[in-house]
A and B are shown apart, each in its own frame.
Chain A
Amino acid sequence: MSEAAAGNGAAPGGLEAVIGLEIHVQLATATKMFCSCALSFGEPPNTHTCPVCLGLPGSLPVANARAVHFGLMIGLALGSELAPRSIFHRKNYFYPDLPKGYQISQYDEPLCLGGALGEVRIHRVHLEEDAAKLIHVGASGRIHGSDASLVDFNRGGTPLAEIVTEPDLRTPEQAGEWLRLLRTTLRALGVSDVNMEEGSLRCDANISLRPAGSGQLGVKTELKNMNSFRFIERGIKAEIARQAKVIETGGTVVQETLHFDPDSGAITSLRSKEEAHDYRYFPEPDLLPVTIEPAMLEQARAAMPELPAQRAQRLTAELGLSEDSARALAFRGELAPYFEAALAAGADPAPEPQALANWVTVELLPRLQDGEDPGGSRVAPAALAELVGLVGAKRVSVGAARQVLDRLVSDGGDAGAIVEQEGLGAIGGGEELEAVVAAAIAANADAAERVRQGNAKAIGPIVGQVMRETKGRADGTEVASLINAQLGV
């Protein structure tokens, strides 16, 4: 990623942060990665289990072909090299959420290698199984100080795609923005619910600092399992600050795995390099290598939808949107469909695409709750389209249209009807506005005199009165020219 794109960089003191992400994506298959149990979320504990996902003696895994299909789609979306033959490995360690004492994952021969999304290069994508869920019983709900720990195996064995980026990110904001793009891409693919709160999208960050512009990498730490976009940005920011302080006070950063507590903002060590597991990876003897037949590849290709990056290009090419607008719409997956639905709603007069794009991103989004999908709001795409069309035809002023939008956001409904009801239709080019202007000039004689004498700024109070009188229905530019005309300026 270019230095310019790095923005104002969160690392202080001539230091630059180098950030790479590891993202775990729960795949939305019907069944688990290695058995035929249905995937579930929020169901009574241990109701979706079988000998295989409980790791009972004698049970054997069988790989889920659908998960491989989804993995290939992810690889295609990221422009990865798809391995004609990849293998599953066992990653051995003891923990109660891991019933076999090993996780079936991929190691040195993953399904997808390389690729890029936006300006961030992809290192690899591989398939693996999710661990079970531990529930710590007791006041804190955390492992320390709990009375007991229970294991819910419903989640155990859920298919995961692990996506690892190259260390191409430089700021927390960039990391958050890129992760949103990844989420949009995965959602467009239909391979995952990508819901961070429910854990179907989870993110770890590898963070190191170095002198700005240096080609070398510093010692990195791994920040584990941040479960919302906000926490990710805050967590990375906090870790950059921590490392910067270590360096500035003459210390050295130690390679370790860290946990960010969003409540306190504290970063605590989970384990250091010395305590790092030796996972004793070896090829899983219970599974055959995954060989990608041409038919599987064709199937994955055929299932590929339009991806956000492609969509942004199309919006620019076909509709003449600015690149910024096109990306703003396409990279937040729910915006582009909303925008396109509005454009296709057949509003008369039809909205101009760039104006509609601006209304979606600049006016509508800030009026919604943080992260709310406009498609789920009360503002129907057709209503927004009508409103923007009316503005374009100068039948509603921008100011009045904002009032209409406020109403749409709170109550929904039809833009034209609200304009009518509230009497918000534009007045302009007619005697009504001329009369209001004349009255305003008369009421502000001093200001009018100064305008006549060449003080253009003095027009303010007169315009203000016209706007008040017309409740914002008049177009500001038109009002100003009417005033100037009547004053003979």
Chain B
Amino acid sequence: MSAGLLELGAAAARAEIDAGRLSAAELFDFYRDRAAADRDADGSGLGCFTWVAAEAPAGARDGSPPLAGVPLAVKDLFCTRGVPSQSGSRILEGYLPPYTATVVSRLAEAGAPLFAKTNQDEFAMGSSTENSGFGPSRNPWDRDRVPGGSSGGSAAAVAAGLAPWALGTDTGGSIRQPAALCGIVGMKPTYGSVSRYGMIAFASSLDQAGPLTRDVGDAALLLLHMVGRDPCDATSLEFPGSLATPTAERLDGVRLGVPGELSGEGIEAGVLDAFNAALEQARGLGAEITGVTLPHAPHALAAYYVIAPAEASSNLARFDGVRYGMRHIDDARPEDLVAMYTRTRHDGFGPEVKRRVMLGTYALSSGYYDAYYGRAQQVRTKIAEDFRAAFEEVDLIVTPTAPTVAFELGEKTGDPLAMYLNDYCTVPMSLAGIPAISIPCGLSEGLPVGIQIAGPAFSDARVLDAAHALEGALGFDGSAALV
């Protein structure tokens, strides 16, 4: 039934396995083979994968776990024992961790075995996956265009049907933006709800793992098995309340707030059209649409590009050539420790990583800390307060996910600031630590547009419910991207 397998979403595949009409092994092999074909296609593939399993992990098919054996693609930056985990960086080329990230272990135990690792921007720094040290990924809707980033490999793989579902991470939009550009669902849960243990850190106070899936139901199903306190992550906590597979089909009485700051200037006309059409659909489902204001949101990007690089400059200090990964000796000064550090980091890091390490180092420097890092943290607090105030008036906030549709490879690589603007609508939620989902809401110029739905901290279930209802009304068809 291979032809039909591709049509099955993850939850549907699980149901087939549970009903005995499909074996987990067959499903695993199906996706493993498709992923391997993409990997082996070199330049003509989508470049989604950095590693593909040779065979299903032992024990993965035993019993009848809740996720039934539906295989999972995982972003490169999750540490996976004995499997290359490089965070898209040459400095970690071939690095085999001795342990597995908590969330990957949890999902494997729940019956979603790892079958492939996906491409990403180096250390999750980027919005196009062009910053990968292992070559770019491509958008299955148009191979000359980027899939977004930094979780671009995961998003493209799910959109193309090369993975039933995938894990990504979101720091300023790295799940939501590629999900939008690839026409799939991507969710950043509330900060702290999913363990970060084993995620190669970019910006610790912002990084959060989340699902990339074909529909909202799959996202909820995966998230359900991801959340929960991890004794190895001091910032994780027990998820309050319960998550369930969403069933809502209406939005009666739900107050949706549209922040003017994130839905006007700077947003491409075609994106705004699709967004506004989606709002009409929501109204048709009974939602009440009102304007809200997030006065500090326009400063979010500036604050983010201080805080995230500052944390990154420290998080990436461990890549020094001493213990693991690349070590390059300076031939001119072979016995000089600093020369070894310099040569290794010079050769191992790509330009965007170096740019951010320098930005962050500067922002934390003596004499500049208050003006940059301290100030950015104040802005962050203000943004969180803005959201709290807005959620006094509305239940959820909706914005376009990204200001544009997928852009062409190379189009923005020479202009970092233009690249950073991709996160304009997603960064405020990251700074506030609140849950936000992107679902596809239509096409512009034949390319997908995403709508973002955000809610207060730990309202993840409500966000999923609303997304599920709206998804049903929108009826987005992503099958054009399947390969």
Chain A residues in the interface with B (C-beta under 8 A): 51, 54-63, 90, 92, 94, 96, 99-102, 151, 278, 280-282, 285-288
Contacts and interface: CB of A to CB of B under 8 A. Distances in A.
B204 A94 contact: no
Contacts, number: 105
Interface stretch (B13-21, B65-73, B194-202, B399-407): B194-202
Given A51-B99, A62-B234, A63-B234, A282 B314 contact: yes
A288 B232 CA distance: 13
Contacts of B199: 58
Interface in B202-244: 203-205, 231-235
A54 B322 CA distance: 11
Contacts of A60: 196-197, 232-235
Dominant secondary structure of chain B at its interface with chain A: loop
Contacts of B203: 285
Contacts of A286: 201, 204, 233-235
A60 B201 CA distance: 9
Contacts of A94: 317, 320, 338, 341
10 contacts: A55-B318, A57-B95, A57-B319, A58-B97, A59-B198, A60-B196, A60-B197, A92-B313, A281-B369, A286-B234
B337 A96 contact: yes
Interface in B306-349: 310-311, 313-314, 316-320, 322-324, 337-338, 341
Contacts of B324: 56-57
Given A151-B322, A287-B234, A288-B235, A58 B101 contact: yes
Of all A-B residue pairs in the complex, the 4 with the closest CB atoms, nearest first, are A101-B317, A280-B364, A285-B204, A285-B205
Contacts of B77: 58
A59 B79 CA distance: 9
Interface in B92-140: 92, 95, 97-99, 101
Contacts of B79: 56-58
A58 B200 contact: yes
Nearest to A54: B323
Contact of B198 (A58, A100, A151): A58
Contacts of A287: 234-235
A285 B376 CA distance: 15
B314 A56 contact: no
A58 B87 CA distance: 10
Interface centre among A90, A92, A99, A282 (most CB of B within 10 A): A282
Interface of B: 77-79, 85, 87, 92, 95, 97-99, 101, 196-201, 203-205, 231-235, 310-311, 313-314, 316-320, 322-324, 337-338, 341, 361, 364-366, 369, 373
A287 B196 CA distance: 12
Nearest to A278: B366
Nearest to A56: B97
Nearest to A153: B323
A51 B200 CA distance: 12
Given A55-B318, A57-B97, A102-B314, A278 B365 contact: yes
Nearest to A143: B337
B317 A282 contact: no
A10 to B, nearest CB: 35
A102 to B, nearest CB: 5
Contacts of A58: 77-79, 85, 97, 101, 197-201
A179 B341 CA distance: 39
B366 A282 contact: no
A100 B234 contact: no
B96 to A, nearest CB: 11
Contact of B98 (A51, A101, A102, A151): A51
A137 to B, nearest CB: 13
Contacts of A99: 318, 322-323
Contacts of B338: 94
Nearest to A35: B232
Nearest to B337: A96
Nearest to A148: B335
A287 B204 CA distance: 10
A288 B234 contact: yes
Contact of A285 (B85, B99, B101, B311): B311
A90 B312 CA distance: 12
Output the residue of B78, B203, B231, B317 with the most chain A CB within 10 A. Answer: B317
Contacts of A282: 310-311, 314, 364, 369, 373
A281 B310 CA distance: 11
Contact of B85 (A54, A57, A92): A57
A63 B341 CA distance: 29
Contacts of B233: 60, 62, 286
Contacts of B310: 282
B99 A101 contact: no
A64 B259 CA distance: 43
Contacts of A55: 318, 323
Nearest to A57: B200
Contact of B320 (A56, A90, A101): A101
A59 B324 CA distance: 14
A13 to B, nearest CB: 36
Contact of A61 (B234, B319, B322, B365): B234
